[in-house]
Structure 1
């Protein structure tokens, strides 16, 4: 599986369909090309569809906080490819893989990580990463398959991104430190720029 050049997933929790296009454009123009609209956002399905239209193939768009096979079906019907979960549910993961979705599965323990991989997840999402810390990442990396990308999500900001990358994470999901409901697209662009700069300074 090939990943976008910058391993950063923008999490636009709480965004509305009326706002989505401007924020998607701001993210793409800043260099972030993975965009997640959580299912607990207002009319998330419409936002996914509008985000796909705005991205026009320049970003991998999808949904997060996907908890049921019914939501997997709704997401797959839009033509989106990215699906992110907050938890490890092998049934939901396998269902998504059967639809050809790119699954980033949430986990907290090594057992959950292996359950997600065995169900077909192509990426792992450590959540909440800031609670566990970079030392926990290093311990996990000693046993996890080296070819499965590991993303840190939850409490990741430009100031601690480098520590998680140095501990072995491939990239990160960017939540409240990137976007909060109601903020304008210029603020999203400014926050995104800070993350991109932090990523580039932390990687060769």
Structure 2
């Protein structure tokens, strides 16, 4: 049986619940409990930013601990050479703050899905041409729902647009109405010092907001 690719897993995760957990600052010793809490809440994409303590160890721990339908990867990937290390740690997705085509190509060459950060339509189209799987609208604080709605006039589905930066449960509905495909969730979901119980509570709040904005057919 052919195993699904990272890009296929990402597409499936986006259809399931398009919420990406960003565990910036997480420690390897706590990441499994936090990751399990997220998985139990319905999350299927988890990223550990590379500016976290021992990020590759956390990525490996998550990949080894969680079921196969969870997509684990790295955030804040800014150099092409980082992609091979992420893949070697079991990473399946590279998330970037920018849209450097060299990083996108390196991620794809390593067999991973890639979500580059874009802030203009020019960057968006360049990232798609380089092989991006989804587009991270970053920072979302500077890209209001009205901007996303305008982008949707030319970036039609199945191109996935994910606002990231300052997203809270209360901001999901407006972006959903504007055409967001999903969201990257940072400090409102997890911040250093939060326990797995804290994360489970925050995750439940986000899931409630998601289900209200994206009712099942």
Using the size of structure 1 for normalisation, the TM-score is 0.97
Tell me how far apart the structure 1 counterparts of residues 141 and 173 of structure 2 sit (CA, whole Å): 12
Q: For 2:90 and 2:67, how far apart are their aligned partners in 1?
A: 12
> Which of 39, 45, 51 is the equivalent residue of 1:28?
39
Q: Which residue of 2 aligns with 1:201?
A: 212
Q: Which residue of 2 is the match for residue 3 of structure 1?
A: 12
RMSD: 1.0
CA distance in 2, matches of 1:100, 1:39: 19
What is the DSSP-based 3-state SS (H/G/I as helix, E as strand, rest coil) of the residue aligned with 1:66?
coil
- Mark the runs of 5 or more structure 2 residues left unpaired by the alignment: 1-7
Question: Given the alignment of the two structures, is residue 166 of structure 1 paired with residue 177 of structure 2, yes or no?
Answer: yes
* TM-aligned CA deviation for residue 182 of structure 1: 1.1
Q: Match of 2:210, SS?
A: helix
Q: Which runs of 5 or more structure 1 residues have no equivalent in the other structure?
A: none
SS at match of 2:209: helix
Asked if 1:64 corresponds to 2:75, the answer is yes
More divergent stretch after superposition (56-65 vs 34-43): 56-65
Partners of 1:158 and 1:100 in 2: CA distance: 32
User: Which of 147, 172, 176 in structure 2 is aligned with 1:136?
Assistant: 147
Which stretch shifts more, 56-65 or 41-50?
56-65
Match of 1:81 among 92, 98, 105: 92
Deviation, structure 1 residue 69? 1.4
Partner residue of 1:47? Answer: 58
The answer for the alignment partner of 1:38 in structure 2 is: 49
Shift of 1:108: 0.3
Q: Where do 4+ consecutive residues of structure 1 move more than 6 Å?
A: none
- Listed as ranges, the matches of 1:71-150 within 5 Å are 71-150=82-161
Hey, what's the Cα distance between the residues in 2 that align with 1:81 and 1:197?
Answer: 27
The answer to whether the Cα contact below 8 Å between 2:81 and 2:106 also exists between their aligned partners in 1 is no
Count of residue pairs the alignment pairs up: 204
User: How far is 1:3 from its partner?
Assistant: 2.4
